[in-house]
């Protein structure tokens, strides 16, 4: 771990002399003069924020809370109540559209022709995000580190794509406009890490790295914000999610008994120290918000939002169907040395880009896969037969092993041939007959993470500033309501194909019945053009997704 006082913690200051590019088409009707800043916080939950505010450890957020409106944000959940993949959630918030419409359903996808994954990219998005909509109506925009924004779009303002690290990634695909952050690509405001945050960062190398990324993203974001002065800005904070995944057992101490049963019982003094990791990450979030608020102009409306919350694990969290074992028992997959697939004897394989209960199966097609075994004319018959066999797998109590399975019509190079929804509610005492043998249900599942913190389907929304009614709490809204609320705050038309609506509970003057709307903004296009990134960068991002349990 780099020392907390190393130069990586403080970015050099520069004076930027860039001019914002021209905006798009003029607005259909005059927009408001207010500015809106959206702060995305991965994994934030009121169950932790509220006591920390009461204890005086989050003073900046407490000020926003007292002057604004705060409530719960209902996420998009699976049948078991767990939120969907974070990539799908953040894209739904930014577009106002369901995952099946915007096209981002998981964090990663299969690399065509290879038995490996790559992070999902923004060019897979099929509908415009708020930054495209606002820019097309004459509102300047700025985006820094928002989830699933690589490659960066040519927005009416600036965009720093998620994962930007100039020393590792370079600038191509990560920065618009090119060169906006200086010749070295890393310049930003001078934002030092506080002594309190340094102590928390020193607890864990991965947590320290997430602190560095958050500070760097804010540093670069506020530097470009000062230059472009956008009417709509997006910034993102991820360290709370990282800390919650790694250290929940020290917050909810009943999980330490499970940790002890695995032979990892911490020394009491160490456990007491690590109990500060999650509160410390929230305190750093508060410092981070304070640094941002100090640099925002007047008449700025701030929205702090999380698309999912956090809680302790339940029995089925991180437990998933062991598809490789099921396929092997069905005679569709062969094993080689070390238990790895023997591709020469494999006809069907699984590869999942999400931690949700949506699963993907691929046919090992000759000519399509590196070591394909199934002739192309046999693919339809094999997929139909596999789907039938999977549907027939039931426990001795009649419970299905999979809730739903279907053939994907005309799959693209990264899309699966079969998709299924696994059943995570089977009685663990039952068994299933596969072939001629009965298999205990417990042997057909596996854990993919040892974390004790899990995503929850209830996020947060805190709004304060111009246009927001103060003192309103206790309400809840859908994730789809955020985009229409932002459009209204900016004075822009609503869209009839967005399922949500402006959140009236938080608005000082909600829209009347005659507020203008358009049928859709889809004519503006979807995501950016694809950009290739080096294999080492792809591998680094996949490892990061696995480290926070966003992939199996």
Judge whether residue 201 has pLDDT over 60. yes
Pairing type for strands 300-306 and 232-237 reads: unpaired
Q: What is the pLDDT of residue 459?
A: 96
Report the pLDDT value the prediction gives residue 316, as an integer from 0 to 100.
Answer: 66
How confident is the model at residue 6, as a pLDDT?
Answer: 32
Mean pLDDT of 315-336: 87
Arithmetic mean of pLDDT, 210-234: 96
Question: Is the model's pLDDT at 270 over the cut of 70?
Answer: no
β-partners of residue 83 are 77
Q: Which residues contact 202 (CB under 8 A, 6 or more apart)?
A: 1, 4, 208
How far apart CA 122 and CA 147 sit, in angstroms, is: 9
Predicted model pTM: 0.89
Most confident of the following: 8-17, 228-237, 320-329: 228-237
In sequence order, what DSSP letters do the residues of 325-380 get, joined into one string? HHHHHTTS--B-GGG-B-GGG-SEEE--S-SSSEEEEEE-BBTTBTT--B-GGGHH
Determine the pLDDT at residue 544.
87
pLDDT in tens, 481-522: 999 999 999 999 999 999 999 999 999 999 988 899 999 999
Omega of the bond prior to 177 within 30 degrees of 0, cis?
yes
* C-alpha neighbours within 13 Å on the C-beta side of residue 113: 2
The pLDDT assigned to 517 comes to 95
Residue 185 has pLDDT above 60, yes or no: yes
Contact 355, 478 (CB under 8 A): no
pLDDT at site 79: 55
C-alpha distances in Å from residue 118, one per residue of 32, 121, 362, 540 = 41, 9, 16, 10
**CA 488 – CA 194 distance, rounded (Å):** 37
Q: Which two tokens stand for residue 429?
A: 């005492």
Q: Give the pLDDT score at 13.
A: 32
Please report the pLDDT score of residue 448 as a whole number. 73
Give SS3 for 119.
Answer: strand
Element (H, E) at 120: none
pLDDT per position as a tens digit, 95-152: 999 999 999 988 999 999 999 999 999 999 999 999 999 999 999 999 999 999 999 9
8 A C-beta contact, residue 89 and residue 104: no
Give the pair of three-digit tokens for residue 508. Answer: 């000082």
453 has pLDDT over 90:
no
Q: Does the structure show a pLDDT above 70 at 63?
A: yes
Strongest mean pLDDT among 120-134, 346-360, 437-451: 120-134
pLDDT band for position 34 (cuts 50, 70, 90): confident
* Helix 46-54 with 59-67: angle, nearest 10 deg: 100
- Do 167 and 186 touch, CB atoms closer than 8 A? yes
The residue ranking higher by pLDDT, 311 or 233, is 233
User: Mapping DSSP to helix (H, G, I), strand (E, B) and coil, where does residue 232 land?
Assistant: strand
Report how far residue 463's alpha carbon sits from residue 424's, in angstroms, rounded to the nearest whole number.
37
Q: What percent of the chain has pLDDT over 90?
A: 68
Average pLDDT over residues 4-22: 33
Q: pLDDT value at position 414?
A: 86
Instruction: Give yes or no for residue 28 having a pLDDT over 50.
Output: no
Check pLDDT > 90 for residue 467: yes
pLDDT value for 451: 82
pLDDT level of residue 375 (50, 70, 90 thresholds):
very high
For 21-31, what is the mean pLDDT?
38
Helix intervals (H) in 370-457: 379-392
- pLDDT attached to residue 31: 56
Q: Is 474 left (phi over 0), alpha (psi -120 to 50) or beta?
A: left
Q: Is the confidence at residue 221, as pLDDT, over 60?
A: yes
Q: How far apart are CA 74 and CA 550, in angstroms?
A: 19
Contact at 8 Å (CB) between 366 and 382?
Answer: no
Q: What is the pLDDT of residue 23?
A: 36
358-363 and 402-407 as β-strands: parallel, antiparallel, unpaired?
unpaired
Is the predicted pLDDT of residue 438 greater than 70, yes or no? yes
Question: Is 281:200 a contact under the CB 8 Å cutoff?
Answer: yes
The pLDDT, as a whole number, for residue 2 is 33
Q: What is the pLDDT of residue 259?
A: 64
Asked whether 301 and 35 are in contact (CB, 8 A), the reply is yes
Q: Looking at the predicted structure, is the pLDDT value of residue 32 above 80?
A: no
Integer angstrom CA distances of residue 334 from 88, 331, 432: 33, 7, 21
Tokens of 501: 């609506």
| Distance of alpha carbon 341 from alpha carbon 345, whole angstroms | 8
> Of 488, 228, 446, 449, whose CA–CA distance to 325 is shortest?
446
pLDDT of residue 3: 34
More confident site: 222 or 11: 222
Kindly indicate the confidence band of residue 255, based on its pLDDT and cuts at 50, 70 and 90.
confident
Q: How far apart are CA 395 and CA 441, in angstroms?
A: 8
- The DSSP code for 164 is -
Per the prediction, the chain carries an average pLDDT of 88
- pLDDT above 70 for 411: yes
pLDDT tens digits, one per residue of 67-98: 999 999 999 876 555 667 899 999 999 999 99
Say whether pLDDT at 262 is over 70: no
CB atoms within 10 A of CB 540: 16
The answer to which of 89-93, 316-320, 356-360, 501-505 has the lowest mean pLDDT is 316-320
């Amino acid at each position: 771990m780099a020392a907390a006082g190393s130069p990586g913690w403080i970015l050099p200051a520069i004076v930027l002399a860039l001019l914002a590019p021209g905006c798009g088409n003029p607005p259909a009707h005059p927009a408001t003069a207010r500015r809106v800043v959206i702060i995305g916080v991965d994994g934030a939950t009121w169950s932790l924020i509220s006591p920390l505010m009461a204890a005086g450890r989050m003073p900046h957020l407490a000020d926003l809370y007292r002057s604004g409106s705060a409530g719960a944000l209902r996420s998009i959940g699976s049948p078991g109540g767990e939120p969907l993949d974070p990539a799908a959630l953040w894209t739904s918030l930014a577009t106002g559209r369901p995952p099946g419409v915007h096209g981002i359903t998981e964090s990663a996808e299969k690399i065509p022709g290879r038995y490996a994954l790559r992070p999902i990219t923004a060019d897979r998005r099929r509908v415009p995000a708020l930054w495209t909509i606002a820019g097309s109506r004459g509102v300047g925009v700025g985006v820094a580190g928002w989830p699933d924004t690589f490659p960066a779009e040519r927005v009416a303002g600036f965009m720093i794509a998620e994962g930007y690290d100039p020393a590792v990634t370079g600038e191509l695909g990560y920065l618009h406009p090119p060169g906006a952050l200086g010749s070295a690509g890393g310049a930003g405001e001078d934002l030092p890490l506080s002594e309190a945050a340094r102590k928390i960062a020193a607890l864990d190398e991965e947590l320290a790295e997430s602190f560095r990324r958050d500070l760097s993203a804010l540093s670069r974001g506020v530097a470009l914000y000062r230059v472009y002065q956008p009417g709509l800005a997006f910034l993102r904070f991820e360290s709370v999610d990282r800390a919650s995944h790694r250290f929940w057992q020290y917050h909810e101490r009943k999980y330490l008994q499970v940790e002890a049963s695995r032979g990892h019982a911490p020394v009491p003094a160490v456990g007491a120290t690590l109990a500060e990791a999650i509160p410390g990450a929230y305190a750093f979030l508060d410092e981070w918000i304070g640094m941002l608020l100090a640099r925002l102009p007047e008449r700025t409306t701030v929205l702090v939002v999380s698309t999912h919350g956090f809680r302790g694990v339940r029995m089925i969290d991180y437990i998933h169907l062991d598809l490789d074992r099921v396929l092997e028992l069905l005679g569709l997959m062969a094993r080689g040395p070390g238990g790895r697939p023997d591709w020469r004897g494999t006809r069907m394989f699984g590869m999942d880009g999400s931690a949700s209960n949506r699963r993907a199966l691929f046919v090992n097609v000759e000519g399509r896969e590196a070591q394909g075994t199934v002739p192309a004319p046999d693919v339809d018959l094999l997929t139909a037969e596999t789907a039938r066999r999977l549907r027939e797998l039931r426990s001795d109590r009649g419970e299905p092993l999979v809730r739903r399975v279907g053939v994907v019509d005309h799959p693209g190079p990264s899309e699966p041939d079969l998709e299924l929804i696994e059943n995570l509610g089977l009685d663990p005492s039952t068994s299933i007959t596969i072939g001629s043998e009965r298999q205990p249900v417990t042997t057909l599942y596996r854990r993919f993470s040892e974390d004790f913190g899990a995503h929850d389907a209830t996020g947060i929304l805190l709004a304060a500033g111009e246009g927001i009614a103060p003192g309103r709490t206790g309400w809840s809204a859908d994730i789809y309501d955020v985009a229409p609320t932002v459009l209204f705050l900016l004075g822009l038309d609503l869209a009839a194909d967005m399922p949500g609506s402006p959140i009236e509970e938080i608005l000082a003057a909600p829209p009347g019945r005659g507020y203008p709307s358009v049928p859709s903004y889809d004519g503006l296009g979807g995501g950016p053009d694809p950009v290739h990134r080096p294999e080492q960068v792809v591998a680094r991002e996949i490892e990061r997704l696995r480290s926070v349990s966003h992939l199996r």
